[in-house]
Structure 1
Amino acid sequence: MRLVAKSPKIVTIGGGTGAPTVIRALLLAGFSDISAISASTDSGGKTGQLRTDERDRVIAISDLLRNLLALISPRQKHLEHVAAFTDLLGFTDGRNRNLGYTLYYALLEKYDGDFLAVQNHLERLLGAKFAGTAIPVTLQPTHISFSTQSGAVFHGEHELDRQTMSRNAITGFWLDGPAPASPQAISAIRQATHIIYCPGSIYGSVLVNFLARGISPVLKSSKAVKILIANLVSNRNQTHEFTPTDYFRLFAKYTRLDPPFNLFLCPDTSRHDFEIRYPEVAANYGAEHSHFLGWDKEKLAVLKKFKITPVPAEIFSVTPEYSRLRHDPVKLAKILKQVIHKV
């Protein structure tokens, strides 16, 4: 085991609800130098509405904003202006435009697309200090497309959600146009001591970031320890019956790295044991054509031949309402503190 620097520079890659949970865990663990890189290709919901209204001349900022808000220390969440801005993200106007997003886009226009200047402006506006920087992986407006086993081709990230229960598994994945990585994303990865691939939509939130031109080469030259945090539940068209080896192959394909990550952080419970312990939860997910992603020691041990260390740990909790599985930020904080300080 080697000791790392006292102040690790951590990059998270991902969006949705997974990356903010990881960011909160990192803050709870005491880390304060975080660069949160997220995709800018969302085309669903209110983000899709805004991008359509703007004729696709703007990037999606939904994941960027979620990560940015997660970078606010828990001690500052109660601040009046922070709470007010968070509330804005829940309001829409008569055209179904999100007021928080509209404010961010207005600031982005004011500062000629400089999202760092927007973040600084929001710090002054909210009276809060961010524990890092939220960075879009590209500043070029673009969309994703993907092909499936049937030979069908779908356009737009919203189709990933629409097809999530389909048996028609994804076989290919690309951006509709050239999208150079943002200089800030390149710089953050180059300086990182640790890079965390967050849980979430494996294509729409994580792998899409590797498609931006320049990300793969800088990942290859990076000496950072790369940590993948596995999802808890499968998606029928993306990760059905997934094994640790499948994770390795998929990430190797899109990062073009061997190995694509050094540590594989996953639940310390196998699918078999989970279904015995939580039969009702398993049945609920089964009705959605999903299942728990957990493996026994033998399947995890296979990763060692790829020079990847499996790190099974207690990382999830079951929500009291609706019995849903969630990565637990407190539990994640404990294990991330261990693996980041000693790897």
Structure 2
Amino acid sequence: MKMKVVTIGGGTGLSTLLKGLKHLSSFEITAVVSVTDEGGSSGKLRKELNVPPPGDVRNNIVALAEDEDLLAKLMNYRFMEGSLKGHSLGNLIIAALTKIEGSFSEAIRTLEKVLAIKGRVLPVSEDHARLVARFEDGEEVVGETNIVKKNGKIVKVWLDRSIEALPGVTEAISEAEMIVFGPGSLYTSIITNVLVKGVKEAIKRSKARKVYICNLMTQPGETTGYRVSDHVRELERYLEEKVDFVVVNTKRPSPEVLERYRKEGSDFVEIDVENTQNTIIAEPLLTEIVDPLDGKKKVRHDFLRLAGVIERISRW
């Protein structure tokens, strides 16, 4: 019998985790993905076609696909000129399928069947909402992109309107034996899911092991200066309960990569959770990869090592 695992997040971090988890035959994976992204191609399609942002969903479907290399090249292909400039082919395919199937979730289900992915990907909701943040100076900013641009200390986040979680999302959470949060942007990829009506309530009712995978680096305009304890405190504040396990990385980036990140306003997330009610798992999980788009080295989780940690937790 496979263990039912629900992952909650969005963006690059969650897709990295899924790349590793799909190799574990003992897991039945459901990825719950945020729908408040407003940047780039996703933001344009959301505004112009009135569809939920497809970018994070696309990344996670590709991550769960068996023939990932070929699919990644096709689905992530980005047009560099003409009227389609800035759009990725995968986003356009998902937007087209949404119109054909009549709903975002049906479009995803169709694509999952075509690509025969190892698991399923669910948007947290099909409704539209924008993330709102109040900063330490009292200013309230609407929209993920604007929140990051503000580059201040966030005091509170919420959605500009109440939206309902998909029934499949709350059902998956209620049946889960393990719920994994992250890795990913703390407010704009993880907590934004918790704000959707029905999600937090389902998590609080769940008896599943709850695991938080902390980011490797802080994010400019979102978690500047945050240590591990700050990330955990904020997630638990919105969950309104403790997580059982916190997975943290002990390996620092190379000096030249760390220096470049610092110039961009980001820094290594320091571990400071000695006295905590959570079980802390601290291991060297960082790797550096070369981004094919700009040729720069980027910091990422080692997806196989990370999957190994999650598998160990599943046996505890």
- TM-score, normalised by the number of residues in structure 1: 0.83
Instruction: Give distance in 1, aligned partners of 2:122 and 2:259.
Output: 38
Q: More deviation in 219-228 or 150-159? A: 150-159
**Corresponding residue number in structure 2 for 1:279:** 255
**Pair 26,83 (structure 1): closer, same or farther in 2 beyond 3 Å:** closer
**Pair 139,124 (structure 1): closer, same or farther in 2 beyond 3 Å:** closer
**Corresponding residue number in structure 2 for 1:9:** 4
Shift of 1:83: 6.0
Which of 228, 239, 242 in structure 2 is aligned with 1:244? 228
Contact in 2 for aligned 1:16/1:205 (Cα 8 Å): yes
Which of 62, 66, 72 in structure 2 is aligned with 1:69? 62
**Corresponding residue number in structure 1 for 2:102:** 112
**Corresponding residue number in structure 2 for 1:148:** 135
Which of 149, 168, 176 in structure 1 is aligned with 2:160? 176
**Pair 99,318 (structure 1): closer, same or farther in 2 beyond 3 Å:** closer
Shift of 1:98: 4.1
Q: Which has the larger radius of gyration?
A: 1
Which of 172, 180, 199 in structure 1 is aligned with 2:183? 199
Shift of 1:123: 4.5
Instruction: Give distance in 2, aligned partners of 1:190 and 1:37.
Output: 13
Instruction: Give distance in 1, aligned partners of 2:68 and 2:212.
Output: 28
**Corresponding residue number in structure 2 for 1:48:** 43
Superposed CA deviations along residues 240-262 of structure 1, whole A, max 9, x for unmatched, are 332333223211221122x1x11
**Corresponding residue number in structure 2 for 1:301:** 274
3-state DSSP of counterpart to 1:247? helix
Instruction: Give distance in 2, aligned partners of 1:123 and 1:237.
Output: 34
Instruction: Give distance in 2, aligned partners of 1:279 and 1:313.
Output: 19
For 1:184-263, list aligned pairs within 5 A: 184-257=168-241, 259=242, 261-263=243-245
Contact in 2 for aligned 1:160/1:204 (Cα 8 Å): no
Contact in 1 for aligned 2:123/2:166 (Cα 8 Å): yes
Instruction: Say what the alpha-carbon RMSD is for the aligned residues.
Output: 2.2
**Corresponding residue number in structure 1 for 2:79:** 91
3-state DSSP of counterpart to 2:22? helix
**Pair 138,300 (structure 1): closer, same or farther in 2 beyond 3 Å:** same
Instruction: Give distance in 2, aligned partners of 1:266 and 1:195.
Output: 16
Structure 1 residue ranges, 4+ long, deviating more than 6 angstroms after superposition: none
Counterpart residue identity of residue 77, structure 1: E
Instruction: Give distance in 1, aligned partners of 2:225 and 2:305.
Output: 25
Contact in 2 for aligned 1:169/1:236 (Cα 8 Å): no
**Pair 152,328 (structure 1): closer, same or farther in 2 beyond 3 Å:** same
Contact in 1 for aligned 2:228/2:270 (Cα 8 Å): no
Which stretches in structure 1 are left out of the alignment for 5+ residues? 1-5
Superposed CA deviations along residues 306-328 of structure 1, whole A, max 9, x for unmatched, are x3100001211123663432111
3-state DSSP of counterpart to 1:131? coil
Q: How many equivalent pairs are there?
A: 310
**Percent of aligned pairs sharing the same letter:** 27
Shift of 1:201: 1.2
3-state DSSP of counterpart to 2:310? helix
**Corresponding residue number in structure 1 for 2:51:** 58
- TM-score, normalised by the number of residues in structure 2: 0.90
